[in-house]
Amino acid sequence: MPSERSGRHSEERAQPPAEQARNRARPEPTSRLRIGLTLRIVAVLAVMGIAIFPLYWMFVTALSSDADLFASDARLLPDFSQFGVFVDALAEGETVRWLRNSLVIATGTTALSIVLGIPLGYALSRFSFRGKALMTVVLLLTQMLPEALMVVPLFSLFNRFELLDSLVGLILANAAFVLPIAALILKGAIDGIPRELEEAGRVDGARPFTMLTRINVPLIAPSIAAAAVIAFFHAWNEYVFAVTFIYSPEMQPASVGIASFIGEVGTPVQTVMAVAFMFTLPAVGFYLFAQKYVVAGMTAGAVKG
C-alpha cells in the first residue's frame, strides 16, 4: 500500500501544474450524471408547466370575480370563494347533458373507427388486389379535405336518410373522417408483424379472420390505442358537423353548447371558462390513461420485424 501511494504521488508530481489543475477541476462521473438528471427534470417540469398552464388559467378565470377579471393586474391564484360558478353550471343540467352527448359521440366514433379500421388495415397490409396502391393514396388524400368542404353534400345525404338532428349521424360523419387515418396507422403496425406467424396459423387451419383476431390484434394493441386516442379527440372537439347537423338543444354536444354562451350583449366569461374546464378534463384524463400506448403505437410500423 505505501508503494502504491508513493507511486501515485510521484505520477501527480510528474504531471505539469496545468494538467493537475484540470484534473482537479474535472467533475466526477457521478457529478455529471447528477447534473444531466437535474437538467432533464427541469426540462420535463418546464414542458409540463407549459402544457398545464392553459388548463390552470381556465380554472383561475372561472374563479375570478368581475372586478378581478377586468382589473389591470392579472390574478394568478384562484379565488375559491367563487366556486359557486361550477355548482351553478352543473345544477342547470345543460352542462351535464352536453358532456353526456359528447361522450356518446366520441365513444361511438372511436368504436366504429376501430372496428372498421382493423379489417381495412389488415386487407391493405396482407392482401394483393387491383387498385390497392390507389386506395391507399386516396385514404391519405382524404386527410387533406377540410370538414367545411363536405358539410353541404353530407347535409343533403343525411337529410335524405333522416340522420339530421341525431347523434348517430354525427358518429357516422366523424367516423368517416377518422377511419382513413386509423386504417393507415393499423396497416403500418400489421406490416411490422412477421408473416411467419400467420403461416404457422394457416398450417394449423386458421382462417384469415381467426388470424386477425387471435394473432394480429393482440400484437397491434398499442397501435389500436393510438388510433383510438386520435378518433376520440377528433369526435370530442368536433364543431362544424355538430353545429350544422344538430338542431335540438338537448342533442347538442359540449363543443356547441359552450359556443351558445356567446351573446350579442354580453358573455358570462366565468361560466364559459368553468364549462370549458369541465369539457377539457375528460379528454385530458383519457389521454393520460392511454398516453403510454400512443408513442409505441405511432412507431410500431416504423421497423418491420
Greater confidence (181 vs 295) lies with 181
| pLDDT for residue 114 is more than 90 | yes
| pLDDT for residue 22 is more than 90 | no
| pLDDT for residue 263 is more than 90 | no
Give the domains, in start order, of the chain with CATH numbers: 2-82 (no CATH), 85-298 (1.10.3720.10)
Look at residue 157 in the predicted model and tell me its pLDDT: 92
Q: At a CB cut-off of 8 Å and minimum separation 6, what does 144 contact?
A: none
Closest Cα partner for 285 from 161, 159, 99? 99
Q: What is the largest CA-CA distance in the chain?
A: 98
Look at residue 33 in the predicted model and tell me its pLDDT: 80
Over residues 159-209, the pLDDT tens digits come to 999 999 999 999 999 999 999 999 999 999 899 888 888 888 888 888 888
Confidence label for 1 from pLDDT (cuts 50, 70 and 90): very low
CA distance 226 to 182: 9
CA distance 81 to 93: 22
CA distance 12 to 14: 5
Over residues 53-112, the pLDDT tens digits come to 989 999 999 998 888 888 878 788 888 888 888 988 888 778 899 999 999 999 999 999
Closest Cα partner for 232 from 301, 288, 273? 288
CA distance 276 to 50: 18
pTM of the model: 0.79
Helix, strand or coil, per DSSP, at residue 129 = coil
Greater confidence (289 vs 57) lies with 57
Q: What are phi and psi of 88, to 5 degrees?
A: -65, -40
Average pLDDT over residues 129-143: 86
Closest Cα partner for 260 from 270, 242, 272, 251? 272
Sign of the alpha-carbon torsion through 237, 238, 240, 245: negative
Confidence label for 26 from pLDDT (cuts 50, 70 and 90): low
Look at residue 260 in the predicted model and tell me its pLDDT: 85
Whether 109 and 175 have beta carbons less than 8 Å apart is answered as yes
Q: DSSP alpha helices (H): ranges in the chain?
A: 2-14, 17-25, 29-62, 66-69, 84-91, 94-126, 132-141, 147-160, 167-191, 195-203, 208-211, 217-219, 221-237, 240-245, 254-259, 269-298
The total number of residues shown for the chain amounts to 305
Look at residue 18 in the predicted model and tell me its pLDDT: 55
Closest Cα partner for 228 from 162, 286, 149, 164? 286
Look at residue 235 in the predicted model and tell me its pLDDT: 94
CA distance 236 to 53: 21
Look at residue 21 in the predicted model and tell me its pLDDT: 54
Q: What is the mean pLDDT of the chain?
A: 83
Pull the grid cell for residue 252: 347538442
Whether 221 and 300 have beta carbons less than 8 Å apart is answered as no
Lowest-confidence pick of 22-26, 61-65, 266-270, 272-276:
22-26
Percentage with pLDDT > 90 across the chain: 36
Over residues 229-244, the pLDDT tens digits come to 999 999 999 999 999 9
| C-beta contacts of 157-161 below 8 A and 24+ residues apart | 158/245
Q: Treating both helix axes as pointing N-terminal to C-terminal, what angle do 84-91 and 269-298 enclose, rounded to 10 degrees?
A: 80
Average pLDDT over residues 115-141: 89
